[in-house]
Amino acid sequence: MNVNPSNIGLHQNMNRVLRLARGTFFRWISADDWLEPGYLSKCVKTLEDRPDAIGLTTGFTLYSPEGVARWKHYRGEFPSSGDAAQRFERMLWFYHAGDAIYDPIYGLFRRSRLLETGMLRR
């Protein structure tokens, strides 16, 4: 296990773990998060079936400290346009949609494509 000797901040830590990763696919996950059984295999299959896709994101459930679940069903437009700029714009919209909908940063991505971006800015 790699542990940072000091608190290097969120973005620097995300960049560090991305550089340390060696797999074909990559997903950031926080210490208090967990994935449902079968989640990753379904995501990997989806990406394998769509070689043009760089990554994918899914809905998620938030739990209070008392264990109460909060989940919102999203019925709007998904970033599935054939136009890359339109897909990117839609992904940015999700950042401002509020919690318990979608958070693109916690999707599953092709690691090689993330590395091409120059990683996260400080």
Q: Note the pLDDT tens digit of each residue in 85-103.
A: 776 677 667 666 665 566 6
The predicted model gives 33-39 an average pLDDT of 87
Q: Could you tell me whether strands 25-26 and 62-63 are parallel, antiparallel, or unpaired per DSSP bridges? A: unpaired
Q: What is the residue extent of each domain of the chain? A: 31-109
Q: Note the pLDDT tens digit of each residue in 45-83.
A: 999 998 888 888 777 777 888 988 876 666 666 666 777
DSSP string, 62-119: EE-TT--EE-----S--S--S-HHHHHHHHHHHHTS-TTSB-GGGSEEEHHHHHHTT-
pTM above 0.85, yes or no: no
pLDDT of residue 45: 95
Is the CB of residue 27 less than 8 Å from the CB of residue 55? no
